[in-house]
Amino acid sequence: MEKIVSLCKRRGFIFQSSEIYGGLNGVWDYGPLGVELKRNLKNYWWRVMVHERDNIVGLDGSILTNPEVLKASGHVEGFSDLLVDCRTCKSRMRADQVVGKKGVQCCPRCGSQDLTEAREFNLMLETRIGSIDSRSAVTYAKPAADLTGATGPGMSSTSSESQLVAVRGPAGELVTSVYLRPETAQTIFVHFKNILEVSRKKLPFGIAQIGKAFRNEINPRNFTFRSREFEQMELEYFCRPEEGMKLLEYWKEERLKFYENIGIPRSKLHVLTVPDEERAFYSKGTYDIEYEFPFGRHELEGVANRTDYDLSQHQKASGKSLEYFDEETKQKFIPHVIEPSAGVDRTVLALICEAYSEDQAPDEKGKMETRTVLRFHPRMAPIKCAVFPLLKNKEPLVAKAKEIVDLLRPHLFVFYDESGAIGRRYRRQDEIGTPFGITVDFETLGEKDAKLRDTVTLRERDSMKQERVAIKDLVNTLKSRIH
């Protein structure tokens, strides 16, 4: 794993956030190559989940969430992990990280048995909206519901119950605590009716979203695997209650295919059927899709049958009907929902771990050396193709190479490189996972054999095999191998 973390930093995939100030625990930034990889993943997810289907539409909801939403969904009350402190070394851990030695509970860091009792720790991150700063006097507390001016059955609970306080700042303005959403799903549920009306979809249909989520994880760890700020790709697929279990199977299979199509082989994926006692109480069935990371087998995605829990809760709390009217049976009911919920950052990490490899390849002089290669599926690779003039001081070679860059650029992300020996240039691209390299040489100029004029060498990263391709065929050849 150290080699992977170091490559990520060295080549600009992932940096520690605020690094020059010492970093921020559990928060990461994606560099020039990381952002491309992440985009390729998100775009492919969007393509197969939304664009290639008739009955799924998209949403891009806000991160700041009215506290009432998260009260209704159960997050304010119950979105917590059990927290334990070690009195000896003062480390703080999740209760499931405490190690048991000969039946005795010990601190995983110092081995001490002097641990506190486990207590609930809510994982949501809070912030304030309204013009208040740390010096402003807080003069008046009111229920958060006052802020919306809304009334309704769900609005009657007091601020102390929800731990969310609306206050007045010095000028009498209302200020309140709000949460950064801990999952993207709730924005989808609260817009169920709006989207049903505008899209005029019939069951089964889905709403998809990709966006940031925040969790105040007790122990962020394993690089980006467990972060405090991360992105999710979630689909809420609404259906008739009786279709739920069949669709749960369908989505589990679809999601497994997705991972295979981005280069994660089935043999490295595991489907865990979450046992009854570990499932959320409202779930009728949950699968965790896990990947064999170098630090162990861990969840990439959860696929769950959430029944009608979320919509029912929001209907109750908001006082607004979230029912579906079935025109065939003339019945009204609250749909059930199947949720495939994937993590962008965890999948990016899995892609990098899966792609990382070392092999032996000859250097310029034919001597074998260790080559580091990221064997990304071409679909996911940050840069699709590199273009090299054989020599940088031969103007016709450089001009032709730049012409090829201009030809390819509207179709795929290409990178031009003229510096250093050609072998070194190939190695640099191998290390960042560029699947194709094009070299413009003297044959391209027709200097050796007129038949080879306007052809180039196309090199494939993994096999290092080279073939001669006509410049006019490059766009189609590359597109067909990347798609």
For ligand ATP, the binding residues (CB under 6 A) are 183, 215, 217, 226-227, 230, 232, 299-302, 341-343, 345-346
CB of 412 to ligand ATP, least distance (A): 28
The residue (of 181 and 215) whose beta carbon lies closer to ligand ATP is 215
- 341/434 with CB nearer ligand ATP: 341
According to DSSP, the β-strands at 285-293 and 92-94 are unpaired
The distance of closest approach from Cβ of residue 58 to ligand ATP in the complex, given in angstroms and rounded to an integer, is: 18
Nearer to ligand ATP, 127 or 331 (CB): 127
Cβ of residue 346: shortest distance to ligand ATP, in angstroms? 4
Contacts of 149 (CB under 8 A, 6+ apart): none
Q: How does DSSP classify residue 49?
A: I
Q: CA-CA distances (angstroms) from residue 76 to 53, 206, 357? A: 35, 26, 44
Residue closer to ligand ATP by CB (options 302, 382) is 302
Are the C-beta atoms of 11 and 432 separated by less than 8 Å? yes
342-361 in b/e form (b: 16+ CB < 10 A) is bbbbbbbbbbbbbbbeeeee
Burial class (CB in 10 A: 0-12, 13-18, 19+), 135: exposed
Task: Return contacts of 355-358, CB within 8 angstroms, 24+ apart.
Answer: 355/263, 355/433, 356/3, 356/4, 356/7
- Nearest residue (CB) to ligand ATP, 342 versus 438: 342
Q: Which is nearer to ligand ATP, 82 or 390 (CB)?
A: 82
**Smallest distance from the beta carbon of 360 to ligand ATP, in angstroms?**
35
Long-range contacts formed by 370-375: CB under 8 A, 24+ apart: 371/427, 371/430, 372/7, 372/430, 372/431, 373/430, 373/431, 373/433, 373/461, 373/462, 374/7, 374/430, 374/431, 374/432, 374/433, 375/263, 375/433, 375/461, 375/462
Q: Which two tokens stand for residue 20?
A: 């020059």
Q: Which is nearer to ligand ATP, 11 or 215 (CB)?
A: 215
How many CB atoms are located within 10 Å of the residue 102 CB? Answer: 5
Task: Quote the least distance from Cβ 347 to ligand ATP, whole Å.
Answer: 7
Shortest Å, Cβ 435 to ligand ATP: 26
Least distance in angstroms from the C-beta of 161 to ligand ATP: 24
- Nearest residue by C-beta to ligand ATP? 343
Beta-strand ranges (E) seen in 310-451 are: 324-326, 331-333, 336-343, 356-362, 368-374, 385-389, 414-416, 436-440
Q: Is residue 393 helix, strand or coil? A: coil
* Nearest-approach distance from CB 344 to ligand ATP, in angstroms: 8
Positive or negative: CA dihedral 256, 261, 262, 268: positive
CB nearer to ligand ATP: pick between 73 and 341: 341
Count other C-beta atoms under 10 Å from residue 242's C-beta. Answer: 8
**Structural tokens at position 370:** 């260790």
Instruction: Output 235 or 386, the one with its CB closest to ligand ATP.
Output: 235
C-alpha dist (Å) from residue 439 to 320, 373, 449, 475: 63, 19, 16, 15
> From the CB of 376, what's the least distance to ligand ATP, in Å?
19
Cβ distance to ligand ATP smaller for residue 68 or 183: 183
Residue type, 172: G
Q: Using DSSP, state whether 210 is helix, strand or coil.
A: strand
| Beta carbon of residue 203, minimum distance to ligand ATP (angstroms, whole number) | 24
Shortest Å distance, C-beta 7 to ligand ATP: 20
Q: Strand, coil or helix: what is 60?
A: coil
The smaller minimum CB distance to ligand ATP, of residues 345 and 441, is found at: 345
